[in-house]
Amino acid sequence: MMDSPRTAVSNPPVQPMETNLTPRDLVRRSATAELPPPERQLTPVAKLIDVSKCIGCKACQSACVEWNDTHPEIEENVGVYDNPHDLTENMFTLMRFTEWINPENDNLEWLIRKDGCMHCADPGCLKACPAPGAIVQYSNGIVDFIHENCIGCGYCVKGCPFNIPRISKVDHRAYKCTLCSDRVAVGQGPACAKACPTQAIVFGTKEDMKSHAEERITDLKSRGYENAGLYDPPGVGGTHVMYVLHHADKPHIYANLPDDPKISGIVQAWKGVTKYVGLAAMGVAAAGAVLHGIFGKANKVQPEDEENAEKLVDAAEGRKEDA
């Protein structure tokens, strides 16, 4: 069995290879109550982003666009280095630049954080998702969106403690970093980690990444960053994308990285098994059509949308009883 890749430092194969991420490797599937347990456990993987080694060059963004064949818009300059200005359905990762004056020594620090999906062990997006199989989690930790199943409701956006998924204005489906699941499936690391010039982004097993982080933290402490540390937030069960931060005691200074991310209480509360069943029952095609009508225009979930969704689910449940 080909297990999870250990590094992104390899050249991709061109000969046909069997994919290593299949539905049999799922540990979670959105709006699916009874998922058979996976036949095997892949070694958990992680991407480690060492903010202290990052030069903000955006090679990760570039490699991401090229690998995923996305088309980010050419926007205007609004007086910042962050371009595009936000994550979009065509830009799965983004360097966020913060000019921070360290109050302890009055020195400027230019904090540059690569933003993108954290691949939470306890994924809020997946939990919020009402569309069966639109969001899945593999046993190696990757949280992936299966776009064919997506109904574009935007609940994943609401469910995400890091504000990552974006809904396409074209096909009204949700997009985000896949951790290059197509590369990982054939033993390769993500495109961003492969490209990263200073190897501020590295990829491997979560265990290896944690020990690599320890080395980095030791180095940073030797350079006077007493609060250097690993960002692997327990509030979401840990993440499969982690940061080494020079100031791990205050993650928020890095372009509002949440200090203690948790899945929103509303998301936890509004969902129930009945709703999964309800949506599954009405069939994705039908639900997709109806929900697109409701949510397709607005990409954020409004309170009245939630109300409509509740009604829809209720109606679907009613239909199930009829069936």
DSSP 162-180: T---EE-TTT--EE----S
User: How do 241-245 and 45-50 pair as beta strands?
Assistant: parallel
CB 76, min distance to another protein, A: 6
Nearer to another protein (CB atom), residue 58 or residue 172: 58
CB 125, min distance to another protein, A: 17
Q: Hey, which residues does 108 pair with through a beta bridge? A: 101
Cα–Cα distance measured from residue 162 to residue 125, given in angstroms and rounded to the nearest whole number: 10
Query: How many Å is the Cα radius of gyration of the chain?
Result: 20
Distances (CA, A) of 24 to 20, 60, 188, 253, 265: 10, 30, 20, 40, 30
Site for another protein in 10-39 (CB under 8 A): 10-17, 19, 21-24
At a CB cut-off of 8 Å and minimum separation 6, what does 222 contact? none
Nearer to another protein (CB atom), residue 70 or residue 264: 70
CB 266, min distance to another protein, A: 28
Cα–Cα distance measured from residue 113 to residue 103, given in angstroms and rounded to the nearest whole number: 20
Cα–Cα distance measured from residue 272 to residue 31, given in angstroms and rounded to the nearest whole number: 9
CB 5 within 8 A of CB 19: no
Site for another protein in 227-266 (CB under 8 A): none
Nearer to another protein (CB atom), residue 91 or residue 121: 91
Site for another protein in 40-79 (CB under 8 A): 52-59, 61-63, 65-67, 69, 71-79
109 binds another protein (CB under 8 A): yes
Site for another protein in 141-180 (CB under 8 A): 144, 146, 148-149, 178
Nearer to another protein (CB atom), residue 195 or residue 230: 195
Cα–Cα distance measured from residue 209 to residue 152, given in angstroms and rounded to the nearest whole number: 34
Nearer to another protein (CB atom), residue 140 or residue 205: 140
Q: Which stretch binds another protein (CB under 8 A): 2-10, 161-169, 237-245, 265-273?
A: 2-10
Nearer to another protein (CB atom), residue 156 or residue 267: 156
Task: Give the three-state DSSP class for 183.
Answer: helix
Site for another protein in 287-316 (CB under 8 A): none
| Per-residue tokens: 20 | 């290593």
| Choice from 37, 222, 297, 304 touching another protein (CB under 8 A) | 222
Site for another protein in 75-94 (CB under 8 A): 75-81, 83-84, 91
CB 264, min distance to another protein, A: 27
Nearer to another protein (CB atom), residue 122 or residue 144: 144
How many residues touch another protein under the rule CB under 8 A: the total is: 85
Cα–Cα distance measured from residue 128 to residue 234, given in angstroms and rounded to the nearest whole number: 19
